[in-house]
Structure 1
Amino acid sequence: MHSLEKTISKNPGIVPSNRLRFRNSRKAQTNNNSYFENVNFSILAACQHVSEIAAYRLVFHDSSPAFYDKLYVGGVTRGQIRPLLKIMKQNLIQMSTILTDKAQPLAMKEVMKASFDAFLMVLLAGGTSRVFHRHDHDTLQDEFEQLKRVYSNNLEGLVIPENIVDGEAAVVEGVIALMGQSTEQLIEDFSIVTCESSGIGVMGNGQKLPMPPTTCKWNRADPNTILRVLCYRDDNAANQFLKRTYELPKRR
Structure 2
Amino acid sequence: MLQVLDQVCDLIVDVLRDRVVLRVFQACMEGFIWVLLDGGPSRAFLETDVNLMKDDLAMLKDLFIAEGQGLPSDVIEKEAKLAQQILDLYVLKADTIIDLLMKASEHMSHHLEPATARRRNVHDVHTLLRVLCHKKDNGASTFLKIQYHLPRSSDYDDVPVKDAPSKVPIFSDMLNRGASFNWSETGQQSFRIMKKKLQEASWQ
TM bucket normalised to smaller? 0.5 to 0.7
2:193 counterpart residue number: none
Change (3 A) 1:151 1:118: same
Question: Secondary structure of 1:197's match?
Answer: coil
Mapping for residues 92-241 of structure 1, pairs under 5 Å: 96=9, 99-154=12-67, 159-198=70-109, 213-216=113-116, 217-241=119-143
- What code does the residue aligned with 2:88 have? A
Q: Which runs of 5+ in 1 are unaligned?
A: 1-61, 63-87, 199-209
Q: Which runs of 5+ in 2 are unaligned?
A: 157-204
In 2, Cα distance between equivalents of 1:109 and 1:93: 15
Cα deviation, residue 152, structure 1: 0.8
Q: TM-score, structure 1 length as denominator?
A: 0.54
Cα deviation, residue 236, structure 1: 1.7
Cα deviation, residue 153, structure 1: 1.1
In 2, Cα distance between equivalents of 1:222 and 1:250: 22
Change (3 A) 1:91 1:182: farther
Larger Rg: 1
Q: TM-score, structure 2 length as denominator?
A: 0.66
Question: Secondary structure of 1:117's match?
Answer: helix
Percent of aligned positions that are identical: 28
Please, what is the CA RMSD of the aligned residues? 2.4
Question: Secondary structure of 1:234's match?
Answer: coil
Larger RCO (alpha carbons 8 Å, 6+ apart): 2
Deviation by residue 1:83-131 (Cα, 9 ceiling, x = unmatched): xxxxx6x875675456431221111110010000000001100013321
Deviation by residue 1:174-209 (Cα, 9 ceiling, x = unmatched): 1010011111111111111111234xxxxxxxxxxx
Q: Which of 147, 150, 155 is matched with 1:245 structurally?
A: 147
The question of whether the paired residues in 2 share the 8 Å contact of 1:239 and 1:249 is answered with yes
- Higher-helix-fraction structure: 2
In 2, Cα distance between equivalents of 1:179 and 1:92: 33
The question of whether the paired residues in 2 share the 8 Å contact of 1:135 and 1:180 is answered with no
1:81 counterpart residue number: none
